């Protein structure tokens, strides 16, 4: 049995976290790490004590809103937003941390992660958001598409 390296280990955790997501369009998971320790996790779904989309249906689908547009018309909170909110709720410092995410963060999440002091973002699945990429290129945040090593 081959032991996973740290990147694979944390990315696999992000995939597990994504299984808790309640979004009907996309299941995203994120893990906040510092010094090889998990600080917080987040997945996309409705805010605390609010009925999830898997019960109410997807407003974005009903209104035929394309992916990547009008993020505010959604009852769900993105995985990265939940990740930072969970860290804040528990008083966990995010400065100098790394995020492992199943999907490339959108522009809103990118701005939040930059302001939270995240140093690196590893993501697996690309998401067409040129503005988010530009902001990351203008910031000091390393932005790396994760690819599992072939055995």
Q: What is the mean pLDDT of each run of 10 residues along the chain (151 residues)?
A: 92 97 93 97 93 89 86 89 97 97 93 96 87 87 85 58
Does 78 belong to an annotated binding site? yes
Does 90 belong to an annotated binding site? no
Does 53 belong to an annotated binding site? no
pLDDT of residue 83: 97
Question: Is residue 100 within a helix (H) or strand (E), and if so which, with residue range?
Answer: strand 98-103
* Cβ–Cβ < 8 Å for 96, 117: yes
* CATH pick for 6-145 out of 3.40.140.10, 3.30.540.10, 3.40.50.720, 3.40.50.1000: 3.40.140.10
Alpha carbon distances (Å) from 33 to 53, 54, 56, 81, 94: 28, 29, 33, 15, 9
Domain ranges in the chain? 6-145
pLDDT of residue 54: 86
Q: 3-state DSSP helix/strand/coil percent for the chain, to nearest 5?
A: 35, 20, 45
pLDDT of residue 151: 58
**Active site positions, annotated:** 80
């Amino acid at each position: 049995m081959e032991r996973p390296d740290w990147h694979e280990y944390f990315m696999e955790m992000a995939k597990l976290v994504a299984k808790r997501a309640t979004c009907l369009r996309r299941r995203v998971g994120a893990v906040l790490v510092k010094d090889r320790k998990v600080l917080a996790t987040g997945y996309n779904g409705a805010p605390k004590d609010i009925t999830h989309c898997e019960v109410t249906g997807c407003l974005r689908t009903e209104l035929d809103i394309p992916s990547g547009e009008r993020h505010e018309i959604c009852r769900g909170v993105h995985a990265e937003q939940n990740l930072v909110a969970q860290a804040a709720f528990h008083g966990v410092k995010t400065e100098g941390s790394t995020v492992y995410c199943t999907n490339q963060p959108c522009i809103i999440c990118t701005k939040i992660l930059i302001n939270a002091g995240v140093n690196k973002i590893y993501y697996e699945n690309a998401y067409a958001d040129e503005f988010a990429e530009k902001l990351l290129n203008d910031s000091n945040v390393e932005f790396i598409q994760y690819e599992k090593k072939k055995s």
